[in-house]
Structure 1
Amino acid sequence: MNPYAEVIGDPIAQSKSPLIHNFWLDRLGIAAVYRKQLVHPDGLAGYIASRRDDPAWRGCNVTMPHKTLVIPLIDDLDPLAAAIGAVNIVVPRDGRLFGCNSDVPGFLEPLQARIAAPAGGSRSRILVVGTGGAARAVVHALWDAGFTIILVGRTATRAAALAAEVAGADAAAIGTAALPDSDALLDESVAAVVNATSLGMTGQSPLPLSLDRLGPDAIVYDIVYSPLETPLLAAARRRGLRVIDGLEMLVGQAAMGFRLFYGQPPPRADDAALRALLLA
């Protein structure tokens, strides 16, 4: 049997991960496959147990609702995944299962390719909306990369709790606010706005955030990829602002998993062709 990796979740039909990984496998001529596997929460322990002894299994991506549930079932945990409290990659290593999280590099990759390096020792200010699991990864990523963060939650209390979780004794360095007050925080000093919530996703209400006070060079980044053009990104385009959509983060996340599963980097020079495939 050819080597294989997979993505697990519940539901899983919507996942674009097989398209991404199988595109890269084909381009590189690797005789392996990547597939999706529906795993209900009550079947997660059985799934992990069955894969431990499968010599063809190269690992899996883990999506909702298993990112925290899988942690007690694996042997070793990357420090960053431990800090975030979520695992989205599991790979076998010498008879043990290792868990890590690709949300951080996947999120940072497209942002760092666009945002100007801080000048004169100043740090770019990023406003992040969200306090859930995805937001934890985003805030950890920005904090570790040296950005100045303004964190907006449903309530200021929830935002302050996440700031304390990420920065500990330095939590006061992360500005916090409630979502109804966030418009007043947006001005030309904000280099980027990040939506790290599900607002704007298909079936969800739009994110209630005005972009009118942002400067012309600001970036608007929405991690949602269904739909790809969220109301927030549409509003940003109307203002002529630069945008990053959730598909870019998804591809960046997948790249880390691909290296771990198949032992070599994916052909990122083919990103344009991959994006066309994903949008078809």
Structure 2
Amino acid sequence: MDYRLGLIGYPVEHSLSPWIHESFMKQIAVKGSYTKYEIPLSDDFSKRIANIKKEGLQGFNVTVPYKQRIIPFLDKIDSIAGEIGAVNTVSFEDGLWVGYNTDGFGYLRSLEMEFPALMENTAIRILLVGAGGACRGIYHTFANAGFRNVDIANRTIEKAEDITKKHEKLNTKVFTLEEAAERTDQYDLIIQTSSVGMKPGIEEKIIQLDRLKKGAIVSDIVYQPIKTAFLKQAKESGAAIHFGHTMLLYQAQYAFEIWTGKRVPIDDMDKKLKLLLEG
């Protein structure tokens, strides 16, 4: 079987998703292609999606700004994507276009691979910084995995509060960024979920990390640059750090699993991806 897969979004010109999925196909010795479908905001989205559906794809990924906009064009979405309110993976199954969200699960999988002991303790205290789509996916995944102490910090309190509504049993507190910066010593795991610090704004930090708890782990989902200013500060403050490119790999691994039914090992792909990102 030749797999035909793709990615929709804007912009996607520099996406490394084709490299990742074509590497997966090589590992399991199947033929296929992974095509980038760049859809500018000025295009007729419904017409472009209709044309892409006619190309005989087994599935496609969805990136910004279309993770919510794609939903009305699908036949159904799974319960996790429904909770999150966003889709990043679409699969053609039994004549239906089905939406999934692999972001949060991919993130958790990447963290578990690097810090397995941390993930065995659901009582740890976690701080999510930022309240966009990535935060929503990660928050719901932690909640469904049994973690109960997950706080959120964001510039807009209302946006953070909206994320918590479907998991009212969680012991979640919502803070401003300034309030969170004063409390960083209370957390075992701090995750930066926004785009702050991404190229070209590589010197930007969303909060200060000058009072971290001993043994804390600090994570950033930004992967360009690999070592963000946020992670550099965390390292200088004595924290263990977790890089964003691993989330990219593991959410892709889960998407590939949905499309093919095969879980491909990451092996040394994280090192290879890191080298590609560093040029």
Under a length normalisation based on structure 1, what TM-score does the superposition of the two structures give?
0.89
In structure 2, what is the equivalent of residue 116 of structure 1? 118
In structure 1, what is the equivalent of residue 24 of structure 2? 24
- Measure, in 1, the Cα distance between the counterparts of 2:257 and 2:137: 20
In structure 1, what is the equivalent of residue 51 of structure 2? 50
Render the CA deviation track for 1:105-149: whole Å, top value 9, x for unaligned. Answer: 111112233152566xx7100011111111111211222222211
State the SS of the aligned residue for 2:31.
Answer: coil
Q: Is the 8 A contact 1:11 1:38 kept in 2?
A: yes
- Measure, in 1, the Cα distance between the counterparts of 2:11 and 2:139: 26
- Measure, in 1, the Cα distance between the counterparts of 2:83 and 2:275: 34
State the SS of the aligned residue for 2:194.
Answer: coil
Question: Counterparts in 2 of 1:15-94, with a 5 A limit?
Answer: 15-41=15-41, 42-55=43-56, 57-94=57-94
- Measure, in 2, the Cα distance between the counterparts of 1:191 and 1:136: 20
Structure 1 residues 273 and 141, CA gap change in structure 2 (3 angstroms)? same
Question: Which of 244, 262, 265 is the aligned partner of 1:264?
Answer: 262
Render the CA deviation track for 1:194-247: whole Å, top value 9, x for unaligned. Answer: 001111111336224222222231111101111111101111222332111110
Aligned length: 273
- Measure, in 1, the Cα distance between the counterparts of 2:40 and 2:207: 35
Shift of 1:276: 4.9
- Measure, in 1, the Cα distance between the counterparts of 2:23 and 2:143: 33
Unaligned runs of 5+ in 2: none
Q: Is the 8 A contact 1:61 1:90 kept in 2?
A: yes
- Measure, in 2, the Cα distance between the counterparts of 1:277 and 1:94: 39
Q: RMSD of the alignment, in Å?
A: 2.1
- Measure, in 1, the Cα distance between the counterparts of 2:204 and 2:133: 19
Give % identity.
Answer: 32
Question: Which of 179, 194, 201 is the aligned partner of 1:197?
Answer: 194
2:231 is the alignment partner of 1:233: yes
Shift of 1:273: 5.2
2:157 is the alignment partner of 1:156: yes
State the SS of the aligned residue for 2:11.
Answer: coil
Question: Counterparts in 2 of 1:163-202, with a 5 A limit?
Answer: 163-164=164-165, 166-168=166-168, 170=169, 173-187=171-185, 189-202=186-199
Q: Is the 8 A contact 2:184 2:213 kept in 1?
A: no
- Measure, in 1, the Cα distance between the counterparts of 2:269 and 2:151: 31
- Measure, in 2, the Cα distance between the counterparts of 1:155 and 1:212: 23
Shift of 1:47: 2.9
Report the residue type matching 2:173 in the other structure.
G
Unaligned runs of 5+ in 1: none
Q: Is the 8 A contact 1:90 1:99 kept in 2?
A: yes
Report the residue type matching 1:175 in the other structure.
K
Structure 1 residues 17 and 118, CA gap change in structure 2 (3 angstroms)? closer
Render the CA deviation track for 1:146-178: whole Å, top value 9, x for unaligned. Answer: 2211210103333223222x324x36x201110
State the SS of the aligned residue for 2:44.
Answer: helix
- Measure, in 2, the Cα distance between the counterparts of 1:208 and 1:11: 24
Structure 1 residues 211 and 261, CA gap change in structure 2 (3 angstroms)? same
Under a length normalisation based on structure 2, what TM-score does the superposition of the two structures give?
0.90
Render the CA deviation track for 1:90-119: whole Å, top value 9, x for unaligned. Answer: 111111100000011111112233152566
In structure 2, what is the equivalent of residue 223 of structure 1? 221
State the SS of the aligned residue for 2:66.
Answer: coil
Q: Is the 8 A contact 2:104 2:134 kept in 1?
A: no
Structure 1 residues 88 and 130, CA gap change in structure 2 (3 angstroms)? same
In structure 2, what is the equivalent of residue 141 of structure 1? 141
- Measure, in 2, the Cα distance between the counterparts of 1:259 and 1:118: 24
Report the residue type matching 1:49 in the other structure.
A
